[in-house]
Amino acid sequence: MNITTDRIEKQIVLKAARSRVWRALSNAEEFGSWFGVALKGKTFVAGEPVQGQITHPGYEHVVWNAEIERMEPESVLSFRWHPYAVDPALDYSQEPATLVVFELTAVEDGTLLRVVESGFDNVPLARREEAFRMHDSGWDEQLRNIEKYIVTR
């Protein structure tokens, strides 16, 4: 088994058209609805930062900060952020960010959504293991969230 500490890779087949999955990813307000961040009135634009208050219970004190990197319609959305940046007393801005890439592929049953978060080996050692562990389980939850969101909308 190939175990890596630098990247997390997850995937799910969503029973929806690629255009629908793309909208749930690329429309900031829809993204916020399933991801658990208040992004009302916000938009995702490549090269620009976006932020909103986390709405997930227990993390309401956290501001979600990301910089949208790529937006290739119905294909790729990526952003950079500081993983597991949940302590309001710490300034994470000088730390290297990880890269999150969502890739969409049409498949027979709908759309294959693949998410890869990489760059954990650059996270400061004191935070690296916890950030990796929390994001590894967090991406499992987020894939369930988007699946539920798409089915119910």
Give one DSSP letter per residue of 42-86, joined into a string.
----TT-EEEEEB-STT-TTPEEEEEEEEEETTTEEEEEE-TT--
Please give the C-alpha separations between residue 141 and each of 65, 73, 123, 149, in angstroms, as whole numbers: 19, 24, 22, 12
Report the CATH number that the domain containing residue 17 is assigned in CATH: 3.30.530.20
Task: Confirm whether 131 is domain-assigned.
Answer: yes
In a domain, 108, yes or no: yes
In a domain, 95, yes or no: yes
- On whether the CB atoms of residues 98 and 116 are closer than 8 A, the answer is no
Looking at residue 88, its pLDDT comes to 87
pLDDT of 71: 98
Is 146 a domain residue?
Answer: yes
- Domain range holding 128? 7-26+71-152
Tell me, yes or no, whether 58 lies in a domain.
Answer: no
pLDDT digits (tens, 9 = 90+) for 69-104: 999 999 999 999 999 999 988 999 999 999 999 999
Q: Is residue 140 part of a domain?
A: yes
Q: What is the pTM of this model?
A: 0.95
Domains: count for the chain: 1
Whether pLDDT at 2 is above 60: no
- How would residue 1 be classed by pLDDT, with cut points 50, 70 and 90? very low
Mean pLDDT value of segment 97-126:
97
- For residue 14, count CB atoms less than 10 angstroms from its CB and return exposed for 0-12, middle for 13-18, buried for 19 or more: buried
Q: Is residue 44 part of a domain?
A: no
Answer whether residue 53 is part of any domain. Answer: no
Residue 100: the pLDDT is 98
